[in-house]
Chains A and B, each alone.
Chain A
Amino acid sequence: AQSVAQPEDQVNVAEGNPLTVKCTYSVSGNPYLFWYVQYPNRGLQFLLKYITGDNLVKGSYGFEAEFNKSQTSFHLKKPSALVSDSALYFCAVRDRELTGGGNKLTFGTGTQLKVEL
């Protein structure tokens, strides 16, 4: 079974400060990990993914995420937050060892990021 947890329903940060949105996962094998962002009344937009290799993954809009196997975490980070980053962020996981099953993802419950002036 695969699962993912986003322990914070909401994260508040001041513009210009660094931000972190937390994600931990559980899989039987090795993970594929994804971050998506959702703006109001829009679909989910892909930000970045970890497949293998470098533990620090860089994505769209200046976001990056760090894969930590020992802590089973994949936290999303940005060095300097913008008001326009305010949105709902989802972490998702798929067990790399699972074959078939249509590449199903399991999503977290989402974290609302609010960036204030």
Chain B
Amino acid sequence: GDSVTQMEGPVTLSEEAFLTINCTYTATGYPSLFWYVQYPGEGLQLLLKATKADDKGSNKGFEATYRKETTSFHLEKGSVQVSDSAVYFCALSELGNQFYFGTGTSLTVIP
């Protein structure tokens, strides 16, 4: 069945460092891919999405490219800020309305 695997955390970075959070997926067809972010004490909110191969989703300086050949959707940001500290979830949606989430990666950015 469908599944998402993302890198284990926690990740701790200094401000202005480069961020990569790896995400790979397994799907039977052509899913849409998502990154959600959960700030402390809040629910999840959509960060970015891509609906087909080679699409790049971007938002708030974060980017991720849908790579069908490597079944990956890695999240990147060139220069992280303290305010980016949160838990990041990779997710896919393929058939119908179901979403499959990764286990989440906790990011802490220190000044």
A binds B: no
